Amino acid sequence: MKKYPGTILIVDDDEHVLVTSRMILKNYFETIETLPSPKTLESRLKQGDVEVVLLDMNFQAGITTGNEGIFWMNQTRKLSPHTQVVMQTAYGDIETAVKAIKEGAVDYLPKPWDKDKLVSTMLNAYQQARARKENRDLKSKQKALQHHLNHQANSFIAGSAAMEHVLRSIDMVAPTDANVLILGENGTGKEMVARAIHRKSNRSDEAFISVDMGAVPTTLFESEMFGYEKGSFTDAKESRIGKFELANKGTLFLDEIGNLSPELQVKLLTVLQNRSLYRVGSNQQVNLDVRLICATNAPIYEAVSKGSFRQDLLYRVKTVEITLPPLRERKDDIQLLLHHYLEEYGRRYGKALTIGASLIDQLGQYHWPGNIRELQHAIERAVILCQQPTLTIADFQLAPAKAMSTERTRSLNLTEVEKEVIQEALVKSGGNLTRTAEELGIGRTTLYRKMEEYGLGQ
């Protein structure tokens, strides 16, 4: 029989119990240790991991309250939180059992115990101990990874007056738990703002979960966001937690929230109001402690006035509002961004390039409908294609001046502007929908819907 790895520690003042339980359990576990008294229990726990402690409840003659065992159980849990404790006593009664379980024991064995009962109880406690330890280790790794990501994340590259208010707002709202709504065109850096808020918050060591709401199908919204129980629907082979639970204690970033259908808006609002949810197929309430940050490039207030976006949901997600200016309104930052990305991509592709004398002025004349994301991609492409030691405007393959002039005078109707931008992105990508979606900073599902809406089918 294959034995389970790990250590079982038996603490009892009855030598017969120590010998018998050791003989039985050694067939199932690799290491069985015994102590005739709990006096050395603390020092043993400090020496290394113990999965399960089988602990007597009474050690002094004439004492049958079980308080001694409960005291040492609490000491065990303090020193080794993942260790499971099974209590046993010759003076078994229901009150003592309930007291032990309430205080934190995983199970209770009255003496004399049945061999099969002892084995099944210890195996169950062992599995719970391993699961708790794995969960603790996973959380530790997640915190370490999140800490690493937070410290590796790029700070804002901004020196323009247009960005001063944004940077001030981030610093002011970050230490709070206020919900934030970020508005701005595609490619302006809305997710970067959300990450900056999280990085500077008291939740920075916890998870930052990002969800593109435009890419979540209506039929899968509840299972993706709220999770589900095994067997709750045909493909639910095992239970799964949703995005809200993944972000618990941390930050949940909902991008493109303006694309939610009225039906899904109601479901989201209910969770935000109650600060709790029910997984699909479960009637057990899951309480939430999540900092919510939302973003949209859609005209959200226009949607509210038309009744396509709920006003009460807008109030829930918008304790503080931050609006990001488009790149054409912060052209002073183009030089900073150019130097930053030129260094990044020059290092990546092994090229040491200089900047042409008139390049920055020429880049400043372009409208940048795709904002910083378009500039970033343009710089990467220019670095790859440049065959000279100096970058010039010819390396950027931007739209001609006539096209740029047309853009400056085009309609300010948001629907028409969005349609034109999608058309431009389709032309630039040669009709490749994946690259078009990336250029626009939206999911493919959202792109398909908008193409159908604007009659841009291929």
CA distances from 74 to 16, 314, 410, 452 (A): 25, 47, 72, 63
What secondary structure letter does DSSP report for 429?
A: T
Mean per-residue pLDDT, 61-90: 84
* C-alpha to C-alpha distances, 90 to 9, 10, 15, 112, 370, nearest whole angstrom: 19, 15, 14, 7, 75
Mind listing the pLDDT tens digit for each residue in 114-129?
899 999 999 999 988 8
> What is the secondary structure of 335-375 as a DSSP string?
HHHHHHHHHHHHHHHT---EE-TTHHHHHHTS--TTHHHHH
Q: What mean pLDDT is predicted for residues 61-82?
A: 83
Q: State the helix-helix crossing angle for 414-428 and 433-440, rounded to 10 degrees.
A: 130
DSSP code of residue 106: S
* Band (404; pLDDT cuts 50, 70, 90): very low
Burial class, 456, CB count within 10 angstroms (exposed 0-12 / middle 13-18 / buried 19+): middle
β partners of residue 183:
296, 323
Split at pLDDT 50, 70, 90, the class of 36 is: very high
Cβ–Cβ < 8 Å for 17, 111: yes
Q: Give the residue-averaged pLDDT of 150-161.
A: 69
Average pLDDT on 305-328 reads: 95
Q: Residue 230: what residue type? A: K
Helix (H/G/I), strand (E/B), else coil: 55: strand
Q: Which residue has the tokens 């004349």?
A: 365
Q: Side chain identity at 300, as an amino acid letter?
A: I
Rounded Cα distance between 399 and 423, Å, is 13
Among 102-106, 120-124, 313-317, whose mean pLDDT is lowest?
A: 102-106
Confidence band (pLDDT; 50, 70, 90) for 147? low
Q: How much is the pLDDT for 344?
A: 93
Q: Which stretch of DSSP H or E encloses residue 89?
A: strand 84-89
Contact between residue 360 and residue 221 where contact means Cβ atoms under 8 Å apart: no
- For 269-281, the pLDDT digits (tens) are 999 999 999 999 9
Give residue 430's pLDDT: 64
> What digits encode the pLDDT tens for the residues 330-345?
999 999 999 999 999 9
Query: Given a cut of 90, is residue 205 above it in pLDDT?
Result: no
Which residues face 285 on adjacent strands? 278
pLDDT score, position 90: 72
Helix, strand, coil tally for the chain in percent (to 5): 50, 15, 35
Q: How many CB atoms lie within 10 A of CB 307?
A: 9
Residues 190 and 330: beta-carbon distance below 8 Å: no
**Can you list the domains of the chain with their CATH numbers?**
4-135 (3.40.50.2300), 162-323 (3.40.50.300), 327-453 (1.10.8.60)
Q: What is the pTM of this model?
A: 0.60
pLDDT of res. 140: 61
Q: Determine contact, residues 278/285, Cβ cutoff 8 Å.
A: yes
Mean pLDDT of 151-161: 70
Q: Looking up tokens 């379980």, which residue turns up?
A: 101
**Which residue's entry shows tokens 């709750």?**
232
Question: Which of 123, 81, 72 has its CA nearest to residue 100?
Answer: 72
The conformation of residue 213, written as its DSSP 8-state character, comes to G
pLDDT interval class at 203 (50, 70, 90)? very high
> What is the spatial distance between Cα 217 and Cα 220, in angstroms, rounded to a whole number?
5
Strand 354-355 relative to strand 390-391, pairing: parallel
pLDDT over threshold 60, residue 400: no
More confident residue, 250 or 237: 250
Return d(Cα 39, Cα 46) in angstroms, integer. Answer: 13
What average pLDDT is seen over the chain? 86
pLDDT digits (tens, 9 = 90+) for 336-389: 999 999 999 999 999 999 999 899 999 999 999 999 999 999 999 999 999 999
Q: Is the dihedral of CA 70, 75, 78, 80 positive or negative?
A: negative
With a pLDDT cut of 90, the percent of the chain lying above it is 53
Using an 8 Å Cβ cutoff, are 139 and 146 in contact? no
Task: Give the best-scoring range by mean pLDDT among 85-94, 216-225, 393-402, 436-445.
Answer: 216-225
pLDDT-wise least confident of 95-99, 404-408, 445-449: 404-408
- Looking at residue 150, what is its pLDDT? 54
CA nearest 59: which of 110, 108, 130, 11? 11
Q: What's the confidence (pLDDT) of residue 408?
A: 45
- Give the containing element (helix H, strand E) for 30: strand 29-35
Q: Which of 12-16, 105-109, 152-156, 449-453 has the lowest mean pLDDT?
A: 152-156
User: In Å, what is the CA distance from 4 to each residue of 1, 116, 125?
Assistant: 10, 17, 12
**pLDDT (0 to 100) of residue 346:** 95
Asked if the model's pLDDT at residue 151 lies above 60, the reply is: no
Question: What does the chain come to in residues?
Answer: 458
Residue 398 CA to residue 401 CA, distance in Å, equals: 9
Question: Bridge partners of 9?
Answer: 33, 53
Measured distance CA(110)–CA(86) in Å, rounded: 11
Q: What is the pLDDT of residues 259-270, one digit of tens each?
A: 899 999 999 999
Is there a contact between 110 and 121 (Cβ–Cβ < 8 Å)? Answer: no
The answer to whether 153 and 195 have CB atoms below 8 angstroms apart is yes
pLDDT-based confidence at residue 185 (cuts at 50, 70, 90) = very high
